[in-house]
Structure 1
Amino acid sequence: MSGSDIAGLIAAGVFAVLVALLAVPIVKLGRVFDELRSSIRTLSDGATPLMDEVTSTVSTTHEQLKRVDGIAANVSDATANVSALSSLVAATIGSPLVKVASFTYGVRTAWSQREDSSRPSGRRSR
């Protein structure tokens, strides 16, 4: 064996040691990726039912909000109807009612003045 053969053999041995030293971190990195894959699978398996439940909850909430909107619209319509009715009653009955009240006040005032004038005031005569 010549010197170049021995140098080549030493270089091959050093290269083999270098490959062995690099193989250990690569194997460990492979295990990390396996664990990561299993963790992602577990997370995905747990998240799928959760997303289904959230979707169901959002759908139910949407339906309830539609009902509340319908109720709110009915209440708004009823409020408008009551307001229109009270305005109509005030316009129809309000003015004549004020006139009747004024008339009765006038009659009571006149009646009380009449009674006051029919009574003698001051001293009594004997």
Structure 2
Amino acid sequence: MTVGQIAGLIAALAVVALVALLAVPLLKLGGVLDQLRTAVRDLDDSTVPILEELKGTVTVTNDEIAKIGDVTTDVHTVSEHVTEISSRTNELSKVFTETVGTPMVKVAGLAHGIRQAGAAQRAGRLGRRARRNS
């Protein structure tokens, strides 16, 4: 064997050793890629049902939001009606007070005055009788 053949043999052995050293990481990388492919497939299989369920939930939520909008409109309408009833009740109270309440207060005051005058007059007579008898 010549020096060139020995050098070629050493170079060939070096290349074989290099290929052997690189084969191990390549095989491990292939295993990692297989696991990654499996994980992506599992993720896809589990994501589709979740997205379908989410779609249903969003649909139901949108329906409920629409119902809340209707309720809010109804509450606003009821609030306007209550405000109108309140103002009409206030006006009715004023009318009642002016037509019935004020005259009743005057009649009650007059009756009270008459009672006090009658009581004072009776007390005055009793006082005069007592003086006359003594």
Give yes or no for TM over 0.5.
yes
Give the partner amino acid of 1:80.
E
Map 1:1-126; keep pairs closer than 5 Å: 1-91=1-91, 93-99=92-98, 100-119=100-119, 120-122=122-124, 124=126, 125=129
Residue 118 of structure 1: CA displacement? Answer: 2.3
Percent identity between matched residues is 31
Residue 12 of structure 1: CA displacement? Answer: 0.8
Where in structure 1 are there 5+ consecutive unaligned residues? none
Structure 1 segments (4+ residues) deviating >3 Å: none
Where in structure 2 are there 5+ consecutive unaligned residues? none
Render the CA deviation track for 1:78-119: whole Å, top value 9, x for unaligned.
11111012212322x122212221210111110121122123
How many residue pairs get matched? 125
Paired residue secondary structure (1:121)? helix
Residue 38 of structure 1: CA displacement? Answer: 0.1
Render the CA deviation track for 1:48-80: whole Å, top value 9, x for unaligned.
101110111111011011101101110111111
Give the partner amino acid of 1:27.
L
Query: How does the TM-score come out when normalised to structure 1?
Result: 0.91
- Indicate the structure with greater helix content: 2
Query: How does the TM-score come out when normalised to structure 2?
Result: 0.86
Alpha-carbon distance in 2 for matches of 1:96, 1:4:
128
Give the partner amino acid of 1:85.
I
